[in-house]
Amino acid sequence: MRIVLHPPTTTTGIGIIPESASDTQLPHSSIRLTDIDLSCLSTIATEALPLPLEDPRRIYSSSIPGVNLTHPGGWLEGGTGPTPLLQTQNPPSADAEAYLVRHAIRTPEQLHEQIQRDIATPMEELREMMRKREEAVRANEEVEREVERLVEQRKLERKIEERMRKEMQARRRRRDEMETV
């Protein structure tokens, strides 16, 4: 919840530079996709997922600030993902071609813009859900404080009731003693 609503301002993972990009590789902060040795990437059992966000195997940056991936183009939960970025030499699938036709994509820039829109929509939905969750957590904390306050108040009332009961019993005993004398 914290990462979605208050993302870090700096990227901590290693950025992936696609083959077609002209960006220069920055030591310790980015790597070219072609320089990644697939055999060196860790294998993560499905049963081990989801991995904690602090897991040391999360070294590649993702489109979500504060969430790093274990593999380039991998799942947010950890693991290789459905189609790792490293398999870019394969021809486009029918799904990819349908995606291009459905969104009338003709240039790499249009594809990039559409992908950003496709990411932004669910991210905004996620942020809204996290805002509502944060509000619910705050409301629950307020209710818990109120319950604690009422429990303390009830303890005080019981003490007072007990004291009053003892005083009443003492008065009765004194009255009974006075009547018997």
Q: Could you tell me where the beta strands, DSSP code E, fall in 30-120?
A: 30-32, 60-61, 68-69
162 falls within a domain? no
20, two tokens: 């077609």
Other C-beta atoms closer than 10 Å to the C-beta of 169 total: 10
CB 178 within 8 A of CB 170: no
176 falls within a domain? no
178, two tokens: 């006075």
* Number of domains the chain is built from: 1
73 falls within a domain? yes
Look at residue 89 in the predicted model and tell me its pLDDT: 47
150 falls within a domain? no
Look at residue 136 in the predicted model and tell me its pLDDT: 95
Residues 6+ apart with CB under 8 A from 85: 16, 18, 33, 72, 73
99 falls within a domain? yes
Look at residue 1 in the predicted model and tell me its pLDDT: 64
Look at residue 132 in the predicted model and tell me its pLDDT: 94
Mean pLDDT per 10-residue run, the chain (181 residues)? Answer: 65 70 60 72 82 84 80 80 52 75 88 86 87 94 97 97 96 88 69
- Which domain does 110 fall in, by range? 2-134
108 falls within a domain? yes
160 falls within a domain? no
Look at residue 159 in the predicted model and tell me its pLDDT: 97
Look at residue 92 in the predicted model and tell me its pLDDT: 60
Look at residue 86 in the predicted model and tell me its pLDDT: 47
119, two tokens: 């990411």
145, two tokens: 């404080």
14 falls within a domain? yes
